[in-house]
Amino acid sequence: MKFPYLEVSKDNFVPIITFEICAGQRWIRLEAYIDSGATYSIFHVDTAGLLDIDYQEGKKILITVGDGGVIPVYLHKLPVRFAGLEFDAIVGFSKSLGVGFNLLGRAGFFEKFRICFNDRDKIVEATKLI
């Protein structure tokens, strides 16, 4: 599947895609920046609230971020739908995430999809591997 980059400001396009996470009996559509340098997907704690998840019940780990700082992240295993496939993925929540969008990392996604970035055409392509 091909996803066009999202224009976040004039002439600034980024690989933000949509996917769904199961929250009880309903699926919630979310957006996240595909970050091939991130081990885990990390979402803001307000996303945990939207999903009715007590984020602090997850497994707490410390993650080093791009500026060298360390933030606490609480990991949860959640059902996800992406590019026509439903699977469980490890998702982290942090109130210390210092960017304005959720991050979609490698764990749980890059094992199931080949992710190709095409900056020239402003498209990210996800091809199922399983």
pTM for the full model? 0.89
What does the pLDDT read at residue 14?
96
Distance, C-alpha 27 to centroid of its chain: 15
Structure tokens at 118: 């095409």
Average pLDDT, the chain: 93
**What does CATH list as the number for 2-128?**
2.40.70.10
- The amino acid sitting at 52 is D
- Tens-digit pLDDT profile for residues 43-56: 999 999 999 999 99
- At position 88, the amino acid (one-letter code) is D
Q: What is the pLDDT of residues 56-111, one digit of tens each?
A: 999 999 998 878 889 999 999 999 999 989 999 999 999 998 788 899 999 989 99
